[in-house]
Amino acid sequence: MKILVLNCGSSSVKFAVIDTKNKMAISSGLVENIGVNGHIKAKGPINPIDEFLDVPTHAEAILAIQQYLKKQDLINVIEAIGHRVVHGGKYVKSEPVTQEVIDYIRSITLFAPLHEPAHAIGMEEAKKYFPSLPQVAVFDTAFHQTMPPKAFLYGIPYEIYQDLKVRRYGFHGTSHRYVSGEAIRLLNKKPEDTYLITAHLGNGSSAAAISQGQCVDTTMGFTPLDGLVMGTRSGSIDPAILFFLNKTLGYDIDRLDKLVNKESGLLGLSGLSNDMRTITQAASEGHERAKIALEVFCYKLAREIGGLAMALPRIDALIFTGGIGENSVIVRELVLKNLSILGYDIDPEKNVNHGKKSSGIITKDGSAKAMIIATNEELLIAMDTEVMV
């Protein structure tokens, strides 16, 4: 089946046309800088495009994608549309898009203010431009809905959970689900006999404990700010720091929001960049704060993985994925060094070769297994869509 996957972000719409038979993308690209200085960049089976264009809202972005796909002779080829949705609230699995689903996504705007309205508009506009195609919503939070209450509840008054649904939701679920499925396949194991920890490390990062194919705990929480140190996000901090900054520096809610979401993480620690490539390069050249940023990133990740380990009876493999997890030799090395208590003994050659010759495994034979698996969220969204239509 040929599926159009749409990923409506706060100021961009990414797309891919996936052929689920050979699991390859026939066409892919994005419309970015919506509302500012619109730009479409895409490649298709016929010709690529790289142009500036007027896209005041997500509606024009979807139209631009439809027009591009028409020029690629794909309009009559696409059989369904799958949407990536950041926050699924109550949904525990992918859902066919109905007005009720769109209305629910809008109703939880406060959970992800930049994304939920964009998703709702994306679905409505896609209905307009592709009226005959069935659509499916695939939620980043859904995979984590199997967490037990002891993992998803915060230690705050229970009424806040009951009345306002404040709880740990977890994110990157599509990626954690995809790589855990791939790990089970590569390890040649049965899901019911497999226990994994997955670490999705990119601009945003999260880790999850996967027991018998189901998520039992994860590091991101009520929002994607919780958990690990990220590119510009602080990850978990003592909430009293916010009260302290309010009282000492007069920071209001908006200033604090900016501080922990946009000015912290690798960027805030290093004073240099949110990009792990820049951080590792500068650290290797002796930049003190880049070294600190790298150390904090890897130590906190190892510490969280240690915490997730206690949710499982054993760990069959630790999976690295995402831009950093798949590409950073030094991050994997430092994380596994910090985790030697769990029996990891990295094989430097396999690590440098990205486990290419060993089914992704980068640790020595006989030691606890760590693997690299490239994530493919678009493919999983396409596969879910195929199953649902």
Q: Annotated active-site positions, please? A: 140
Selected binder of ligand AMP within 194, 232, 270, 327 (CB under 6 A): 327
Instruction: Give yes or no for residue 328 binding ligand AMP (CB under 6 A).
Output: yes
Q: How far is the CB of 212 from ligand AMP (least distance, A)?
A: 27
Look at residues 357, 337, 374 and name the one whose alpha carbon lies nearest to residue 198.
374
> Residues 220-249 vs ligand AMP: string with x where CB under 6 A?
-----------x------------------
What is the C-alpha R_g of the chain? 21
Instruction: Give yes or no for residue 323 binding ligand AMP (CB under 6 A).
Output: yes
Which region among 123-131, 176-184, 286-294, 316-324 touches ligand AMP (by CB under 6 A)?
316-324
Distance of CA 92 to CAs 144, 244, 316, Å? 8, 38, 26
- Is residue 276 within 8 A of residue 266, CB to CB? The reply is yes
Which region among 18-26, 55-63, 323-331, 381-389 touches ligand AMP (by CB under 6 A)?
323-331
> Residues 274-293 vs ligand AMP: string with x where CB under 6 A?
-xxx--x-------------
Total chain residues near ligand AMP (CB under 6 A)? 12
- Is residue 2 within 8 A of residue 387, CB to CB? The reply is no
Q: How far is the CB of 204 from ligand AMP (least distance, A)?
A: 7
Gap between the Cα atoms of 94 and 111, Å rounded: 18
Selected binder of ligand AMP within 146, 203, 246, 358 (CB under 6 A): 203
Q: Between 201 and 315, name the residue whose CB sits nearer to ligand AMP.
A: 201
Q: What SS3 state is found at 331? A: helix
Which region among 125-133, 134-142, 319-327, 355-363 touches ligand AMP (by CB under 6 A)?
319-327
Residues 6+ apart with CB under 8 A from 159: none
Instruction: Give yes or no for residue 31 binding ligand AMP (CB under 6 A).
Output: no
Phi, psi for residue 208 in degrees, rounded to 5? -145, 150
Instruction: Give yes or no for residue 173 binding ligand AMP (CB under 6 A).
Output: no
Q: How far is the CB of 290 from ligand AMP (least distance, A)?
A: 12
- Is residue 217 within 8 A of residue 153, CB to CB? The reply is no
- Is residue 5 within 8 A of residue 74, CB to CB? The reply is no
Q: Between 2 and 176, name the residue whose CB sits nearer to ligand AMP.
A: 176
With 0-12 / 13-18 / 19 or more C-beta atoms within 10 angstroms meaning exposed / middle / buried, residue 164 is exposed
Cβ atoms within 10 Å, residue 239: 8
Assigned token pair, 285: 């050249």
In the complex, residue closest to ligand AMP by CB: 323
With 0-12 / 13-18 / 19 or more C-beta atoms within 10 angstroms meaning exposed / middle / buried, residue 64 is buried
Q: Between 30 and 147, name the residue whose CB sits nearer to ligand AMP.
A: 30
Instruction: Give yes or no for residue 362 binding ligand AMP (CB under 6 A).
Output: no
Q: What is the DSSP letter of 321?
A: E
Q: Between 234 and 280, name the residue whose CB sits nearer to ligand AMP.
A: 280
Instruction: Give yes or no for residue 199 binding ligand AMP (CB under 6 A).
Output: no
Instruction: Give yes or no for residue 206 binding ligand AMP (CB under 6 A).
Output: no
Q: Between 36 and 352, name the residue whose CB sits nearer to ligand AMP.
A: 352
Q: How far is the CB of 166 from ligand AMP (least distance, A)?
A: 27
Q: Between 194 and 376, name the residue whose CB sits nearer to ligand AMP.
A: 376
Distance of CA 275 to CAs 51, 144, 224, 270, 303, Å? 26, 27, 18, 10, 22
Q: Between 19 and 275, name the residue whose CB sits nearer to ligand AMP.
A: 275
* Sole residue written with tokens 């409506």: 8
* Sole residue written with tokens 């972005």: 61
Assigned token pair, 70: 């028409």
Instruction: Give yes or no for residue 19 binding ligand AMP (CB under 6 A).
Output: no
With 0-12 / 13-18 / 19 or more C-beta atoms within 10 angstroms meaning exposed / middle / buried, residue 149 is exposed
* Residues forming the site for ligand AMP (CB under 6 A): 202-203, 231, 275-277, 280, 322-324, 327-328
